[in-house]
Amino acid sequence: MEIFETPLPGVGVRYEFTAEGGDHVGVIVRRDGKRDIALYDREDPDACRGTVELSEGDSGKLAELLGGTNITARLEDLRHTIVGLAIEWVTMPDAGGLVGRSLADGRIRSETSASVVAVIRDDQGIPGIQPSFVFEAGDTVLVMGSDEAVDRAAAILTG
């Protein structure tokens, strides 16, 4: 099965494929974390028969029902397994916080004792970011530490 990817500037990315049954299906992964599922007309691939908007939580539930893995659930399991360790995914806002500024500017490690472990930007994972790394709107930042430290780090990141 071939999946076609189309960047949608300012919106996100649309993925499309034709199911074995002949239905043309699209999934739009929006910058705000929501997903839209679209089912296109078999006769006219430009005509959409209907869409469903899913929140991030809905998307995770659907992925589980379809047999996929749910990374968030696994991280939650890990969080509960290691007492005192909090793991949080923080989505950077459109403006404010550390958007347009470096990790060093935020002084997160020295101010909170939490660690910024990785960043997901678009569809690329960036592990072990350097102090000079500059955050962008829509980045998803993986933060680890105590519950209190992670909460304070999230506040610094998002303003």
Domain with 126 in it: what CATH number?
3.30.70.1450
Mean pLDDT throughout 146-156?
91
Are 78 and 152 contained in the same domain?
A: yes
The total number of structural domains in the chain stands at 2
- Residue identified by tokens 């955050």 is 135
The CA distance from 152 to 118, in Å, is 17
Are 89 and 57 contained in the same domain?
A: no
Higher pLDDT, 52 or 7: 52
Range of the domain at 108: 71-158
| 35: phi then psi, degrees, rounded to nearest 5 | -125, 145
Are 57 and 98 contained in the same domain?
A: no
Are 53 and 77 contained in the same domain?
A: no
Are 52 and 100 contained in the same domain?
A: no
pLDDT at residue 71 is higher than 90: no
Distances (CA, A) of 37 to 51, 54, 88, 99, 101: 5, 8, 26, 29, 34
Sign for the CA dihedral angle at 80, 81, 84, 88 comes to: negative
Higher pLDDT, 146 or 106: 106
Higher pLDDT, 78 or 28: 28
Answer yes or no: are the C-beta atoms of 137 and 97 closer than 8 Å: no
Domain boundary among 13, 39, 65: 65
116 by Cβ neighbours in 10 Å (0-12 / 13-18 / 19+) ranks as buried
Are 97 and 153 contained in the same domain?
A: yes
The CA distance from 48 to 46, in Å, is 6
